[in-house]
Amino acid sequence: MLLILKKAMNSSYNAKTLIDISEEFIIWQESVRNLSKNSVIAYENDLKTLTSFFNDSIFIKDISLQDLRSCISKLSKAKKAATSINRFISAVRSLFLYAHRLGYIDVNVALGLKNVKVPQKVPAFMTQTEVNAMCDEPEKNEILWQERDSALFEMMYSSGCRVSEMASLKMTDFSADYTSAKIRGKGNKDRRVFFSDNAVNALKKYLLVRKAVVVQDKIVHQVFLNQKGKALTAHGIRYIIARYSSVEGTNKPVTPHAFRHTFATSLLSNGADVRIVQELLGHASISTTQRYTHVTTEQLIKMYNRSHPHGSGE
């Protein structure tokens, strides 16, 4: 009976255009799968790219594997990053899997797509001297808000949090002594991160003056605020870091992610187990964490000086 119904419905199902299916798929991801806003936006962007390669009236059943490969080829020629292309491929696979399961297409041609090779890049990180200078800069050079910025840098370095995670950190996320906090990361997965003594001390100093900018009778749950008393955004954090690492600060430009990279590199360089670092960073795959197991130039120099007969022995 189900087979008969499916066959009867196929004529109307197969009349679905690529745009129709894409819009339906996005609604399903948002309402049924309850994906995060950022994940939904990523799907929307990739599927807009996909539909831009085809006529608005094309039916999804008429798209071939060769058509999809042609889309990928165009992205490569447009010099899109391999990681962006692979994200696009993943979105296309998910869309066609959805369409196949609901009977919109008889054959899932997207199964024949393969990811492009991603060049292995060593993550950019700061040396210990550089990260110390960055963390000390707010006290030496009050460019914006000394207490807040000092706490922000120390907490980013000691926890390895993503900039979006730090922006969304709430007062209720902390443990009673502020030495740890519950973080909601990618895929809405919770993990616990930890803060060093320097970070806790800097945070306590900031919280004492934070009260002064909070508008009376208005509760702001986020920890980090701008000087108008509103929650600091990820963009705002990037701006703060850019100011302190510019010519008016350390004059060594860094990104928020450099704190995360430095956190991971420091732990692994000092013997931390890669799986523990994976858990602290909130990585879904250990291969992502293993990018940080490179040997730093500083380590090579120390090893050379200790081991070579004409080395300094330091």
Mean pLDDT of 152-159: 90
**Residue 184 falls in the annotated catalytic set:** no
Same domain, 132 and 266: yes
Same domain, 159 and 274: yes
User: Could you read off the pLDDT of 11-20 as tens digits, one per residue?
Assistant: 444 568 999 9
69, 80, 182, 186: the catalytic one is 186
**Residue 257 falls in the annotated catalytic set:** yes
pLDDT at residue 67, rounded to an integer = 93
**Residue 162 falls in the annotated catalytic set:** yes
Whole domain around residue 107: which residue ranges?
A: 2-112
What pTM value is reported for the model?
A: 0.57
Same domain, 19 and 82: yes
User: Could you read off the pLDDT of 61-98 as tens digits, one per residue?
Assistant: 999 999 999 999 999 999 898 889 999 999 999 999 99
**Residue 260 falls in the annotated catalytic set:** yes
Is residue 18, in this structure, part of any structural domain at all? yes
13, 43, 98, 292: the catalytic one is 292
Give me the DSSP letters along the chain: -HHHHHHHHHHHHTT-BHHHHHHHHHHHHHHTS---HHHHHHHHHHHHHHHHTS-TT-BGGG--HHHHHHHHHHHHHTT--HHHHHHHHHHHHHHHHHHHHTTS-SS-GGGG--PPPPPP-PPP---HHHHHHHHHHHHHS-SS-HHHHHHHHHHHHHH---HHHHHH-BGGGB-TTSSEEEEE-GGG-EEEEE--HHHHHHHHHHHHHHGGGSPTT----BS-B-TTSSBPPHHHHHHHHHHHTSTTTTS----HHHHHHHHHHHHHHTT--HHHHHHHHT-SSHHHHGGGGPPPHHHHHHHHHHHSTTS---
Domain of 62, CATH number, reads: 1.10.150.130
pLDDT at residue 11, rounded to an integer = 46
pLDDT at residue 307, rounded to an integer = 60
pLDDT at residue 284, rounded to an integer = 67
Is residue 120, in this structure, part of any structural domain at all? no
Q: Over 70: is that where the pLDDT of 200 sits?
A: yes
pLDDT at residue 150, rounded to an integer = 93
pLDDT at residue 288, rounded to an integer = 63
pLDDT at residue 24, rounded to an integer = 93
CB 136 within 8 A of CB 129: no
184, 230, 243, 257: the catalytic one is 257
CA distances from 185 to 39, 64, 166, 191, 200 (A): 12, 36, 10, 7, 21
**Residue 283 falls in the annotated catalytic set:** yes
User: Could you read off the pLDDT of 103-124 as tens digits, one per residue?
Assistant: 999 999 999 999 988 776 655 6
pLDDT at residue 26, rounded to an integer = 93
How far apart CA 244 and CA 252 sit, in angstroms, is: 9
Is residue 313, in this structure, part of any structural domain at all? no
Same domain, 89 and 229: no
16, 61, 162, 261: the catalytic one is 162
**Residue 292 falls in the annotated catalytic set:** yes
Same domain, 151 and 260: yes
